[in-house]
Amino acid sequence: MAEEETIAFLLQSHSPLLPSPQQCLLLHARMVCFGLDQKTHLANVLLHRYAKSMEISNTSVLFNKIHKRDVVSWNTMMGAYANAQDERHHAQAVPCHVQKVQPHPKEVPHYAQKVSVHAGELLSYAQESLCHAQEVSHHLQEIQGDTQVVPHHAKQVTRLSAQEVSNQAQRVPYPAREETQHIQKALEMLTQMVTEDVSPDRVTFIICLKACSRVASLVEGEHVHTLAVGAGLHTDIMVATGLIDMYGRCRDVDQAKIVFSKVSVALDVAAYNSLMGAFVRKGRHHEALRLLSEMRARDVKPNTITFINALSACVAPDNLSDGKFIHTCISDELLESNVVLRNALMTMYGKCGDPTNARIMFGKVEKRTVVSWTSMITECTRQGCNREALDYFHQMQEQGMEPDKVTFISALSACASLESMAEGKEIHALVTYKGFELDVITGTALVNMYGKCKLLDDALAAFNNITQQTVISWNAIITVYAQQGLGHEALELFRKMQQEEDMEPDKVTFIGILTACACIGALDEGIAIHNNIADLGLESDFVISNAIVNMYGKCAALQKAQSVFDNMHKRNVVTWTALITAYAQQGHGSEALNLYKKMQEERVMPNATTFLSLISACSHAGLVEEGLFYFSSMRDEHGVEPTFEHYGSMVDLLGRAGLLTEAEDFINKMPMEADACVWTSLLGACRMHGDMERAKRAAENVVYLEGNNASAYVLLFNMYALDGKENDMERIRKMMTKRGIDKQLGCSLI
């Protein structure tokens, strides 16, 4: 009896002599020697200790040896499977199973003497193990220190191709982190348990529901729900909370609401948190915020998880007031040391369009985690502050913080927006070193980055490196080629995706491939894709319909574009602008302007692209006064700031009408320095109307602003040649030689 009490005491979680996994093995052997391994209550304690140590093999062996298993035994084993990870993460100094330390029956007396360990000796052994663990920790820190070579190595890759970057980075090994899940085994044990006439209790159902939640298995979850109803435990607050969480994570929010509504006892904060989290994951943010109000009305005190869920429901500028109110509800004491809450507040302010408060919250986080840095980088990218995002990314590394997948995806997005090839390749090297390059989401971010930087071969190499292609990665590479005007290549990729990979296109695929058809005027292919979309019932999606209108417009099929437009039940500014642009580009200026009037009648606010198309329509129709009106109204009436493209279109409008003096004055009065495109518009107009002196001035500006524009040099040279200005001709020739422009110079009329 004394031996039994001693072992029970040593195994208890509150014992000051808390045993390590190795010591559990010794205690297990001692239990076998004294015949105590069949004491169910004692075996359950050891079972729990193995499970807590993630010793899934030892837990399973012990469980199978227990002759009289009770509900605690089953719950412990199911919990071990539900929470198990790959045992390589928990490998110990004695990697042997219980079976390997069991002695032969004849050797029991000798073996018992050998393993009879006094409590003091156990403590001593534990202290020795702790010292060994500290040595291992120190060694790991030294190894981690060596990895600082990698960021330095990354800076050497800016001149390499994407494949070379991948090959270089793969030379540096990085440990794989694969987790082995045993969820299905835990769920199978529930059925086995019932078969053996052991009645499940609330803990059983909580464990099994957690397992279903982890793998989002709705079918298994519904089975557990049925068993809980049969046991009369489905209205128990803890089981009901598990059900709500399970249905929420399996995306069946309506069923989660039903369970929530049927709880007979007073709802607690955990139940509210589970349903609120379900609403947030499903994107039903208003319902999540209403739950917070209901909690306040019912005097249910919110906790950290409540506030995080509520802040996660604030995703747009319209929610800023809600987010600020939630911020005021969080006590200073709770916020003081809670970095997770500060991260949630920072993300909320960023998503709600308040970057100032987002930065303030970031500045107040003393112990920044990878989530803190990633949130700030992501919010900067979302607000278009891409240079700032990359600055934070570099600061994060300088402070010894390791980026994760989400960090890399946001940083690559910033590189894409800035078209920063050099930084993009540096990040690519780090991504490969971390082992993330083969991941479809990170790999897709690399494809997008290289595509935006116009490095199509590198984009394709990054695409081919992804081990398991999905429709997301295919969409990315198709869109990259379409956006660069390589419609034929995009169409070929689309065919390969369907025919060779047998992958079904989705909404994004169709938008990308319609863009490809539009850029090369592939009307027949566009019609075929339109028919495919109609067969799949996707034509009612107004985003796809917008792309169809745009495609027909770019392919000069105005009647088809108009027909799709007329059949749309919902239209936005993109829809109207696509059709206005189609008419304008085909020289139907009056129709384009009439469409704009109808657009105003329907109270659809125009955007910058709308006005660009209107000015272009006026230019082709010679409607100077109307063009000037639209240009002035875009800023004065609609608050749309003109870009270089708008100024260039206005110069083209005035120039086509022969108003060259007014066009040049217009350029000189611009609030910013005109770019080469604006001067090129004037140059074209001067050539059209034979104004050589003004053409020279325009060409000189083009050459100054765009030093590699060979055509501008040739035009300028020829104009000086016609005037017999040999000094200027020689000056232009030298400029071309200095800038490496190899173009045949001759004399031709403008």
Output the pLDDT for position 144.
Answer: 38
Higher-confidence position of 230 and 479: 479
Output the pLDDT for position 167.
Answer: 54
| Residue 23 zone, left/alpha/beta (φ > 0; ψ -120 to 50; rest) | alpha
Q: Residue 133 sits in which domain range? A: 2-146
Q: 26 in a domain, yes or no?
A: yes
Residue 20 pLDDT > 80: no
**Tokens matching residue 589:** 């200026």
Q: How many of the other CB atoms lie within 10 Å of CB of 676?
A: 19
Query: Which residue, 545, 537, 603, is CA-closest to 574?
Result: 545
Residue 176 pLDDT > 70: no
Categorize the per-residue pLDDT at 126 as very low, low, confident or very high, splitting at 50, 70 and 90. Answer: very low
- pTM comes to 0.68
Q: What is the 3-state secondary structure (H, E, C) of 339-353?
A: HHHHHHHHHHHHHCC
Categorize the per-residue pLDDT at 545 as very low, low, confident or very high, splitting at 50, 70 and 90. Answer: very high
| Residue 455 near residue 160, CB atoms below 8 Å | no
Average pLDDT over residues 675-701: 87
Average pLDDT over residues 77-91: 57
Q: 478 in a domain, yes or no?
A: no
Categorize the per-residue pLDDT at 4 as very low, low, confident or very high, splitting at 50, 70 and 90. Answer: low
Residue 565 pLDDT > 60: yes
Output the pLDDT for position 13.
Answer: 52
Higher-confidence position of 34 and 121: 34
Helix or strand holding residue 456 (H, E): helix 456-465
Cα–Cα distance measured from residue 291 to residue 300, given in angstroms and rounded to the nearest whole number: 11
Residue 602 pLDDT > 60: yes
Cα–Cα distance measured from residue 329 to residue 313, given in angstroms and rounded to the nearest whole number: 15
Domain boundary among 117, 146, 175: 146
Categorize the per-residue pLDDT at 70 as very low, low, confident or very high, splitting at 50, 70 and 90. Answer: confident
Cα–Cα distance measured from residue 541 to residue 651, given in angstroms and rounded to the nearest whole number: 38
**Tokens matching residue 736:** 């071309």
| Residue 270 near residue 245, CB atoms below 8 Å | no
Q: 200 in a domain, yes or no?
A: no
Per DSSP, the residues of 544-610 read HHHHHHHHHHHTT-HHHHHHHHHT-S---HHHHHHHHHHHHHTT-HHHHHHHHHHHHHTTPPP-HHH
Average pLDDT over residues 393-398: 94
Q: 97 in a domain, yes or no?
A: yes
Residue 170 pLDDT > 90: no
3-state SS assignment for residue 613: helix
Residue 634 pLDDT > 50: yes
Average pLDDT over residues 163-178: 46
Output the pLDDT for position 30.
Answer: 65
Average pLDDT over residues 207-227: 84
Q: Which distant-in-sequence residues (6+ apart) come within 8 Å of 513 by Cβ?
A: 478, 482, 490, 491, 494, 505, 529
Between the CA of residue 208 and those of 98, 175, 181, 242, 663, what are the distances in Å?
A: 27, 32, 14, 9, 75
For residue 734, give the CATH number of its domain: 1.25.40.10
Output the pLDDT for position 729.
Answer: 83
Categorize the per-residue pLDDT at 153 as very low, low, confident or very high, splitting at 50, 70 and 90. Answer: very low
Query: Which residue, 369, 406, 411, 405, is CA-closest to 389?
Result: 411
Q: 706 in a domain, yes or no?
A: yes
Output the pLDDT for position 177.
Answer: 34
Higher-confidence position of 642 and 716: 642
3-state SS assignment for residue 746: coil
Percent of the chain predicted with pLDDT > 70? 78
Cα–Cα distance measured from residue 644 to residue 673, given in angstroms and rounded to the nearest whole number: 9
Output the pLDDT for position 736.
Answer: 79
Residue 585 pLDDT > 90: no
Between the CA of residue 562 and those of 528, 567, 587, what are the distances in Å?
A: 18, 9, 15
Q: 119 in a domain, yes or no?
A: yes
Output the pLDDT for position 152.
Answer: 47
Average pLDDT over residues 122-148: 37
Between the CA of residue 355 and those of 49, 292, 380, what are the distances in Å?
A: 48, 25, 8
Higher-confidence position of 732 and 358: 358
Query: Which residue, 184, 185, 151, is CA-closest to 63?
Result: 185
Percent of the chain predicted with pLDDT > 90? 46
Q: Which distant-in-sequence residues (6+ apart) come within 8 Å of 170 by Cβ?
A: 432, 433
Domain boundary among 86, 111, 146: 146
Categorize the per-residue pLDDT at 662 as very low, low, confident or very high, splitting at 50, 70 and 90. Answer: very high
Q: What is the tens place of the pLDDT at every residue in 448-468? A: 999 999 999 999 999 999 988
Q: Which distant-in-sequence residues (6+ apart) come within 8 Å of 511 by Cβ?
A: 543, 544, 547
Q: 712 in a domain, yes or no?
A: yes
**Tokens matching residue 419:** 């078209």
Q: 655 in a domain, yes or no?
A: yes
Residue 477 pLDDT > 80: yes
Q: Which distant-in-sequence residues (6+ apart) come within 8 Å of 380 by Cβ?
A: 350, 355, 386, 388, 389, 392, 414
Output the pLDDT for position 519.
Answer: 93
Q: Supply the DSSP symbol for 107.
A: G
Structurally, how many domains does the chain consist of? Answer: 2
Categorize the per-residue pLDDT at 131 as very low, low, confident or very high, splitting at 50, 70 and 90. Answer: very low
Average pLDDT over residues 200-215: 84
Residue 408 pLDDT > 90: yes
Cα–Cα distance measured from residue 276 to residue 285, given in angstroms and rounded to the nearest whole number: 9
Q: What is the tens place of the pLDDT at every residue in 350-385? A: 889 898 999 999 988 888 899 999 999 998 998 889
Residue 116 pLDDT > 60: no
How much is the mean pLDDT over the chain? 81
* CA angle, residues 299, 302, 306, in degrees to nearest 5: 140
3-state SS assignment for residue 163: helix
Domain boundary among 146, 172, 201: 146
Output the pLDDT for position 18.
Answer: 53
* CA angle, residues 359, 363, 366, in degrees to nearest 5: 145
Cα–Cα distance measured from residue 523 to residue 82, given in angstroms and rounded to the nearest whole number: 55
Cα–Cα distance measured from residue 275 to residue 243, given in angstroms and rounded to the nearest whole number: 10
Cα–Cα distance measured from residue 666 to residue 3, given in angstroms and rounded to the nearest whole number: 99
Q: What is the tens place of the pLDDT at every residue in 192-203? A: 787 788 888 888
**Tokens matching residue 682:** 């004037």
Cα–Cα distance measured from residue 311 to residue 79, given in angstroms and rounded to the nearest whole number: 31
Output the pLDDT for position 91.
Answer: 36
| Residue 179 near residue 85, CB atoms below 8 Å | yes
